[in-house]
């Protein structure tokens, strides 16, 4: 027991090491200011730690890009919170366990809280709450439009009654909301100029999920049934002309005097799930069936007025209708254990998705009805897969597996349009794709702490849906791990190749990842970890497009993309006696691309293709953290982290480089 007490702090130290190797300036979870074993209060034991402090951040360069990537700002935060209350007898009056963890509360961009309250055999309640301040600048993918700066909140509540009994009842509620300002864009009066205008949009989306179900166990078989109702609403998303947006993207052609749009969507998805699970000595069987029927009702009401080449323009657009998506899935797993050493598992899965909808479209230009049409679309996807895997243990040190997978996919579609009152001109299309794949691998314990795993898969598809989908593909994965109590090392290689021939050209994608890691707790007061990863991707595919000056013409070419990411991370933890703990970390990502030193002058077709073949950049982040015990239940922390982002070329129109100094000072308190 005494030995254990001596070992405990070292163990906590060892376990804390990897947790501390985080790139974000935030205290490592699990740090404790008070006694790790907690304190007894009556029949309960309580452990709690709260870390409150101030975060600071200054950023220079492209601050919008910083906000999109990092987004830390000044303010008081509850960096971390931990509370556990456990009944020492396991027979608490109202509860046996309360565990609460929280981080970032108080307006950090990343906030979360998790709560569990449990009374054995009677109930178990779980809550997850998260908030993410999400900033998306005017990205180059939309020429600077589509700015989003909203807050996304998730919460999920789950209550299980009689969790250890043969009859369990389950109820839950989930909520996902997005709120905030955004910019969008609208292509208006395109017949004249193809001009695009920036629109202010108020994002307000709400998703609610209610569920209730139960589980019953009889004769060794467990039946699980769940019913859920999901409600989705884009309650009101009025889109109006953004300040300064009236001139449009293409200067001088068209101006917009006024614009207003309302585009509410309300959707419901009632769904069923039923599952059966059985386990016997020689076999195990489980099956699942789900059915959901999503339905969205929508309305778009849009009014625009301005002037173009033909003079005054005004346009009213009204669209309304609904879309449905009934979806059925079924899964059956059968595992058979003829001997202790052999496991054979067969899986059959079926899914059928049918998406259909009507969209009534009416457009009035200059007070004249110019379009009055009804669209109908259908997309059906039926997927049937079957796989069989066998795993055999040759000895305690060596086992291998092999598997065969087959899938059969049917895609059907109808794209129809008519004027109201006239029959649809339905033209239906159908296609099938069959995939056959084989996989095999082995696990070999070379020595007690040294383990090797390798596996490979090869697959063939006879009719992929698009030119970049998997057709002739293979993957290889190999990992070597060495693990001792104070030393862990690993290295691995992973390869994914795909070739998808087309008439235009051949599409190929080659992804190769390799890595090596080392973690070593050399002494009670010294530990470090380091890692290197290389992620390579090269793809080549044929493209066809219209381009040219002064007039565009059909062009063909090859789209090449090369990414060569080298990433490294390093962490060092130093305990300075009992006076302080120091953590130093560094992470760097460098993509040199294909090694080019310059881009072509823009404005030509070769430049449009060549200049975007690679995206060389670097992203680095050194950090330091100091923890000083002040009193027996109080620690002072200070942290600093630098973020540096640098692009080699202004590939996306401008250099988005930024640098930021962030940090915090805080008190970790256990009272």
Selected from 169, 582, 652, 667, the binder of another protein by CB under 8 A is 652
By CB under 8 A, the residues from 215 to 254 that bind another protein are 217, 222, 224, 226, 228, 230, 232, 234, 249-250
Which of 107, 149, 202, 335 is in the footprint of another protein by CB under 8 A? 335
Query: What is the distance, to the nearest Å, from the Cα of residue 291 to the centroid of all Cα atoms in its chain?
Result: 25
φ/ψ (deg, to 5) at 577 = 60, -140
Residue 205, interface with another protein (CB under 8 A)?
yes
Query: With respect to another protein, which residue has the nearer C-beta, 69 or 365?
Result: 69
260 binds another protein (CB under 8 A): no
Which of 364, 381, 584, 634 contacts another protein by CB under 8 A? 381
Report the residue number, 37 or 630, with the smaller CB distance to another protein: 37
Q: Which of 315, 393, 510, 633 binds another protein (CB under 8 A)?
A: 393
Cα(111)–Cα(151) distance, integer angstroms: 11
Minimum CB distance to another protein smaller for 148 or for 627: 148
Out of 179, 260, 290, 495, the only residue in the binding site for another protein (CB under 8 A) is: 290
H-helix or E-strand spanning residue 18: helix 2-20
Judged by beta carbon, residue 338 or residue 576, the one nearer another protein is 338
Using DSSP's 3-state secondary structure scheme, residue 283 falls into strand
268 binds another protein (CB under 8 A): no
Q: Quick one: 115 or 575, whose CB is closer to another protein?
A: 115
Question: Which span sits near another protein by CB under 8 A: 116-124, 418-426, 577-585, 661-669?
Answer: 116-124
Residues 151-170 that bind another protein (CB under 8 A): 152, 154, 164
How many amino acids of this chain bind another protein (CB under 8 A)? 218
CA atoms within 13 Å, Cβ hemisphere of 228: 23
The H or E element containing residue 87 is strand 75-87
Compute the least distance from the CB of residue 55 to another protein, in Å.
Answer: 13
- Under rule CB under 8 A, residue 143 binds another protein: yes
Percentage helix, strand, coil, to 5, in the chain? Answer: 5, 70, 25
**Residues whose CB falls within 8 Å of the CB of residue 600, separated by 6 or more in sequence, listed in order:** 606, 607, 610, 611
Report the nearest approach of another protein to the CB of residue 413 (Å). 4
Rule CB under 8 A: say whether 283 interacts with another protein.
no
Our finding on whether 116 is near another protein (CB under 8 A) is yes
CB of 372 to another protein, least distance (A): 14
569-588: contacts with another protein (CB under 8 A): 569, 587
Question: Which range in 55-63, 498-506, 571-579, 634-642 contacts another protein by CB under 8 A?
Answer: 498-506
User: Is 576:582 a contact under the CB 8 Å cutoff?
Assistant: yes
Joined together, the tokens standing for residue 512 give 């190769």
Q: Which of 494, 486, 493 is nearest to 518 (CA)?
A: 486
Q: How many CA atoms lie within 13 A of 540 on its CB side?
A: 8
Shortest Cβ distance from residue 425 to another protein (Å)? 14
For residues 595-614, which are near another protein according to CB under 8 A?
Answer: 603-605, 608-609, 612
Q: Which stretch binds another protein (CB under 8 A): 49-57, 110-118, 632-640, 660-668?
A: 110-118
Other Cβ atoms closer than 10 A to 550: 4
Q: How far is the CB of 368 from another protein (least distance, A)?
A: 20
Using CA atoms, how far residue 471 sits from 401, 436, 510, in Å, is 24, 10, 13
Does 256 sit near another protein (CB under 8 A)? Answer: no
The CB density around residue 370, as the number of other CB atoms within 10 Å, is 11
Query: Is the Cβ–Cβ distance between 85 and 128 less than 8 Å?
Result: no
Name which of 153 and 633 has its Cβ closer to another protein.
Answer: 153
Q: Does 79 bind another protein (CB under 8 A)?
A: no
* Residues of this chain, 526-565, that bind another protein according to CB under 8 A: 531, 533, 535, 541-549, 552, 554-555, 559, 561, 563, 565
Within 23-52, which residues bind another protein (CB under 8 A)? 23-24, 26, 29-30, 37, 45
Is residue 396 close enough to count as binding another protein by CB under 8 A?
A: yes
Residue from 262, 338, 465, 526 in contact with another protein (CB under 8 A): 465
Pick the piece of the chain touching another protein (CB under 8 A) from 335-343, 577-585, 625-633, 660-668.
335-343
DSSP states of 405-460 as a string? Answer: EEEEEEEEEEEEEE-TTSPP---EEEEEEEEEEEEEEEEEEEETTEEEEEEEEEEE
Site for another protein in 406-435 (CB under 8 A): 407, 409, 411, 413, 415, 429, 431, 433, 435
DSSP per-residue codes, 92-161: -SS-SEEEEEEEEETT-SEEEEEEEEEETTTEEEEEEEEEEEEEE-S-GGGTT---EEEEEEEEEEEEEE
Which tokens hold the place of 283? 């076999």
**Residue in 136, 192, 365, 538 binding another protein, rule: CB under 8 A:** 136
Please report, for residues 196, 549, 552, the alpha-carbon distance to residue 252 in angstroms, rounded to integers and kept in the order given.
12, 19, 21
Q: Among residues 73, 157, 405, 633, which is the contact residue for another protein, using CB under 8 A? A: 405
Which of 394-415 are b and which e, b meaning 16 or more Cβ less than 10 Å from the residue's Cβ?
Answer: eeeeebbbebebebebebeebe
CB nearer another protein, residue 178 or residue 631: 178
Q: Which of 57, 147, 160, 196 binds another protein (CB under 8 A)?
A: 196
283 neighbors 334 (Cβ within 8 angstroms): yes
* Integer Rg of the chain from CA: 30
């Amino acid at each position: 027991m005494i030995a254990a007490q001596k070992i405990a702090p070292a163990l906590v130290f060892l376990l804390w090491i990897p947790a501390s190797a985080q790139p974000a300036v935030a205290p490592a979870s699990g740090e404790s200011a008070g006694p790790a074993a907690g304190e007894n209060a009556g029949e309960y034991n309580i452990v709690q730690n709260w870390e409150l402090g101030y975060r600071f951040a200054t950023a220079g360069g492209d601050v919008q890009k910083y906000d999109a990537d990092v987004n830390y700002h000044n303010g008081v935060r509850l960096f971390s919170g931990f509370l556990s209350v456990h009944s020492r007898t396991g027979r608490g009056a109202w509860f046996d366990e309360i565990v609460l963890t929280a981080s970032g509360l108080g307006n950090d961009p990343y906030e979360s809280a998790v709560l569990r309250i449990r009374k054995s055999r009677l109930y178990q309640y779980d809550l997850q709450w998260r908030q993410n301040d999400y900033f998306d600048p005017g990205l180059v993918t939309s020429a600077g439009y589509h700015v989003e700066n909203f807050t996304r909140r998730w919460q999920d509540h789950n209550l299980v009654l009689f969790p250890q009994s043969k009859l369990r009842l389950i109820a839950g509620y989930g909520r996902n909301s997005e709120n905030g300002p955004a910019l969008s864009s609208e292509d208006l009066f395109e017949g004249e100029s193809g001009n695009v205008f920036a629109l202010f949009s108020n994002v307000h989306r709400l998703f609610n999920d209610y569920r209730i179900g139960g589980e019953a166990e009889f004769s060794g078989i467990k039946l699980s049934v769940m019913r859920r109702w999901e409600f989705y609403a884009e309650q009101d998303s009025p889109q109006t002309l953004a300040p300064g947006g009236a001139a449009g993207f293409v200067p001088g052609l068209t101006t917009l005097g006024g614009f207003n749009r309302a585009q509410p969507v309300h959707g419901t998805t009632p769904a069923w799930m039923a599952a059966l699970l059985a386990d016997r000595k020689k076999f195990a069987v489980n099956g699942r069936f789900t059915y959901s029927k999503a339905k969205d009702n929508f309305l778009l009401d849009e009014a625009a007025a301005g002037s173009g080449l033909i003079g005054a323009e005004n346009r009213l657009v009204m669209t309304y209708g609904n879309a449905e998506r009934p979806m059925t899935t079924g899964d059956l797993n059968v595992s058979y254990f003829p001997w202790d050493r052999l496991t054979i598992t067969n899986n059959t899965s079926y899914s059928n998705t049918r998406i259909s909808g009507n969209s009534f479209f009416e457009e009035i230009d200059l007070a004249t009805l110019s379009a009055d049409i009804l669209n109908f679309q259908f997309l059906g996807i039926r997927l049937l897969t079957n796989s069989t895997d066998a795993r055999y243990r040759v000895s305690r040190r060596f086992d291998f597996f092999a598997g065969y997978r087959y899938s059969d996919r049917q895609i059907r579609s109808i794209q129809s349009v008519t004027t109201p009152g006239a029959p649809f001109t339905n033209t239906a299309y159908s296609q099938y794709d069959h995939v056959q794949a084989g996989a095999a691998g082995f696990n070999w314990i070379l020595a007690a702490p040294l383990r090797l795993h390798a596996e490979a898969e090869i697959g063939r598809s006879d009719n992929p849906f698009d030119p970049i989908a998997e057709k002739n593909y293979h993957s290889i994965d190999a990992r070597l791990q060495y693990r001792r109590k104070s030393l862990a090392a690993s290295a691995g290689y992973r390869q994914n190749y795909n070739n998808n021939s087309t008439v235009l050209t051949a599409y190929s994608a080659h992804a190769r990842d390799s890595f090596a890691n080392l973690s070593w707790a050399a002494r009670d007061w010294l530990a470090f970890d380091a890692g290197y990863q290389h992620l390579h991707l090269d793809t080549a595919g044929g493209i066809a497009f219209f381009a040219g000056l002064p007039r565009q013409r059909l062009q063909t070419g090859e789209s090449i993309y090369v990414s060569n990411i080298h990433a490294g991370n390093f962490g060092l933890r130093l305990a300075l006696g009992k006076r302080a703990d120091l953590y130093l970390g560094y992470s760097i990502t460098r993509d040199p691309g294909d090694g080019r030193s310059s881009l072509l002058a823009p404005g030509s077709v070769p430049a449009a293709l060549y200049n975007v073949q690679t995206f060389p950049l670097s992203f680095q982040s050194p950090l330091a953290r100091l923890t000083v015990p002040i009193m027996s239940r109080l620690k002072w922390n200070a942290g600093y982290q630098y973020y540096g982002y640098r692009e080699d070329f202004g590939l996306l129109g401008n250099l988005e480089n930024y640098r930021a100094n962030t940090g915090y000072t805080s008190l970790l308190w256990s009272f």
